Structure 1
Amino acid sequence: MKAAAEFAKRIELKQESGSLSSRDFLRLRALLMIICAASWRGTDKAGEKPKDRTSLQVLPVEGDANSWPYVLGRLIFKVFGGSKPAIRSLKLDSVHDQLPADLLECWATCFWCLHACLCARLSPGERTKIQRHILPLMEQVYRRTHLSKDELLAASITDVMDGMSIQYADRLGIDPEALSRAHRSACERIFS
């Protein structure tokens, strides 16, 4: 949690100085992946100790202010959310005539993380809370990347999302196919 808080502070400072760069998005992607690695599909309720949980998996799916859907959501919100999102101060080198691959990979990681929050096995009450925060944020993220529907559905995005599913879906208790369908559905809904 300390790393996430420090990253959020760094983003604030970079936003104020107008110096947010693609390197900051590499850091965001790395941090999101670390959070996913530290997450698990269960809660810390007494008696719930799946045998495949490791000592590194410290973030439960719910029942804690720092459950992984909230941690991921807060981190992504820091960059993409609100009325003055940090992404607006992103400075890209004018050398490229297209977006750098590492930036697209970061955005794909953000999309995956948001859908993971929505596809997680949550109690009905927790699902309602997560949806209330994540659904509007997801639309902001999709729109603020300025990618077209075709770009969002291109292999440059979906391959990264599939890789995230291979790496993290089982530990988080997420159905990879449901997550892929959710991404396609979001693209249809947002860009219809």
Structure 2
Amino acid sequence: MDLLAPGGPIAKGLPNYEERPQQLEMSAAVRAAFARKRHLIVEAGTGVGKSFAYLIPAIEHAVTHGERVVISTRTIALQEQLVQKDIPFLRATLPFEFSAELVKGRSNYVGLRRLGIASQRQTQLFGATKMREALWRVEDWVKETQDGSLSDMPFQPDGQVWERARSESDNCLGRRCSHYKACFFQRARRRAEKAQLLIVNHAL
């Protein structure tokens, strides 16, 4: 039975569930595309329930076949909707477990080594007291954050400060870095390597 169909787990989990024939049709088409290893292009209007129509077959495929599935969105807003709303609901509702991870570009993460260097050289790098205070805010935030990315920051960092503090591939020492195990970007990458479902953005 289609998990989106009336009487299924999604219907039972949504108080205002409505059967949507187009959603069921799209879900079946996505499931068939996975099974046949074919490309599929779908156009559907607002209100069809597209997210569940592709997420559920993708999750089923990942769990059943042991293959990692990548969901790529055009906008960060949709990416965050999937991770913060849709996937938590599906985790609580579907009759099987699955792992999913939001994948962001490296520049979204603070670089602990680079932040340390900026802190050591703050007098030379940031002449204005206001900019040094902006650096201190980032340093305080790093002590509290579990994610280490811009989306987890409760304030907008100064552009010049973030330029000096963000993670960069050209300056990354990899395993030779003393911050390697604690590095927010590397930790996120390790989680992504184990996840069954990856939520990414086209720009990545």
TM-score in terms of structure 1 length: 0.33
Structure with greater proportional helix content: 1
TM-score by length of 2: 0.32
Larger CA Rg, structure 1 vs 2: 2
Greater relative CO, 1 or 2 (CA 8 Å, sep 6+): 2
Indicate the structure with greater strand content.
2
